[in-house]
Structure 1
Amino acid sequence: MLEYAKTILTKVSFDKILFEKELRKALRMLGAEELHQLKTWCYQKFARIYQNILNRVFAQFSPAI
């Protein structure tokens, strides 16, 4: 599921609303270790353009990560 989430996020990264929606969906379907891996990957790949979205979404899921 992690690779699937990465694929979807990459494909929707042109639209910030869609990106946030898909990121939230991904966080709901992944296990704890995968969440940590996704967080690391997202910040490496998207922090330059979606820093605020990443901070907001991952802060809401921080107890699980």
Structure 2
Amino acid sequence: MLEYVKMILEKVSFDLVVFEKELRKSIHSYLPSADEIESLRQWCYNKFDSSEHLRIMKVCFSA
């Protein structure tokens, strides 16, 4: 499931509203373990480095 989530986030990353929606949905619905969420967090911070993406990730992963 983690690879599927990564694929979706890459595809919607151009639209920040959809990116945030999908990231939140992934964290709360698709990824059951803390290890998977941590893996996703690390991947996101490595993959998306624009200030807008960073703001969204900070909020989503802190909730």
What is the TM-score normalised by the length of structure 2? 0.89
Of residues 49, 53, 60, the one that matches 1:57 is: 60
Which residues of structure 1 form unaligned runs of 5+? 61-65
Q: Does 1:40 align with 2:42?
A: yes
What is the RMSD of the two structures over their aligned residues, measured on CA atoms? 0.9
Equivalent pairs, count: 60
Which residue in the other structure is 2:6 paired with? Answer: 6
What is the TM-score normalised by the length of structure 1? 0.86
Which residues of structure 2 form unaligned runs of 5+? none
After TM superposition, give the deviation of residue 45 of structure 1 in Å: 0.6
1:23-46 CA distance string (max 9 Å, x none): 011101202111000000000011
After TM superposition, give the deviation of residue 47 of structure 1 in Å: 2.7
Following TM superposition, the consecutive aligned residue runs of length 4 or more in structure 1 with deviations greater than 6 angstroms are none
* Percent identity for Structure 1 against Structure 2: 50
CA contact (8 A) 1:39 1:58 kept: yes
